[in-house]
Amino acid sequence: MSPDKLWLETPLIRSTHISSLLGCNVYLKLDTLQPPQSFKARGISHYAQHAVRTHGPGVHLIIASGGNAGLAAAWAAKVLGVKCTVYLPHAASQSTIDFLRKDGAEVVIGGDYYLQALQRAQQAVEADPNAVMVPAYDDPILWEGHASLVHEIKSQLPEGNAPDAIFCSVGGGGLAAGIMEGCRAVGWDDVPLVAVETHGSNCFYQSLSLNEGPFTGKVESRKVPEGTSAEYNKEHNVTVAHIAKLTSRATSLGATSPSAGAVEMALKRSGGVKSVCVSDELAMQACLSFTEDHKTLVELACAVTLAPAYNPTLFRALVPHIDKPATVVFIVCGGFKISLEDLKEYERIVEAEFAAGGEWDVAFNGQGIKIPKVR
């Protein structure tokens, strides 16, 4: 491990299974393990190191999290030898709480949603002069750490072979912002980014729809969905969506509003952002297929990225035909919220979906797409 970073470089592998299915070169960036080999570990440890340099070894790191960001903060604090407190919503699993405590973090449960846990954490920071709030997704220092993914991908791909698209999941937009930042640094700003969310946890998609950009039709003709409010952010000159209630089971995507800075970057980048929403059930199918093909468990918030990988019709809509076999990269970010019991439940749910027939409902840059249900 380099002395200037805490995370470990992760492998980039060519997937024989998915490459064969899609007829192109598909690479998987496997940030699938727990810290120090996770994308959260990259950004959060980078931020934690900055906090220690700025405030000294007595700094108290405080973070609000649905789980994965808290795990990264607890790990980074343990390595750096500083205090860490993680605020979690009530829905946090006991296994997550136990894992955090094993890494030496203090755990505080407060609020039904991430936003309420964040409010409790902010109050704690205000009351402690040594405390620093560690952002879960909304800070340029965090994005610098996440950007290391792209630097590694460039060194790991065959020389001179820039990808034709990069796929990632998006909640609050921290990972997407890091990828955009990394692409800009390595000269890949023209590489399209495909950002995938689930219906019911799609604040990034809804925010893009409220601004001039990749979505079809005029902004004024796009209606704000029921249960969502719009707020103008003066600093970044964008409008962001605030979702009152999250209904997706991909809880690690559970930001009620995205980073305004990430939205601004997405709207301005030359390669553009293709914003996609799929159902939980389609993400579950991708999760099961990936587990079978690659013998690796990933939670729904990661599996949503892989939905286009296991659906050629959707993939071709997102990566149009080019003269040579395309090269694409999927960021496989793993996650902690997955178990064998979850997979069994996903199997039952997906089987019921196929038995019911019909098509998958997918949203893509303001358009509705019907995708055949194919096993």
pLDDT of 269 over the 80 cut: yes
Task: Tell me what pLDDT residue 2 has.
Answer: 47
Three-class SS state of 87: strand
CA distance 237 to 18: 39
340 vs 37: CA distance, rounded Å: 22
Lowest mean pLDDT among 7-11, 190-194, 346-350: 7-11
Lowest-pLDDT range of 202-211, 244-253, 284-293: 244-253
Mark 58-88 as b/e (b = at least 16 C-beta within 10 Å).
ebbbbbbbbbbbbbbbbbbbebbebbbbbbb
Indicate the pLDDT class of residue 199, thresholds 50, 70 and 90.
very high
Residue % of the chain over a pLDDT of 90: 79
Top-confidence range, 91-95, 134-138, 246-250, 342-346: 342-346
105 with 76: CB under 8 angstroms? no
| Domain architecture of the chain: domains with CATH | 12-38+140-372 (3.40.50.1100), 60-129 (3.40.50.1100)
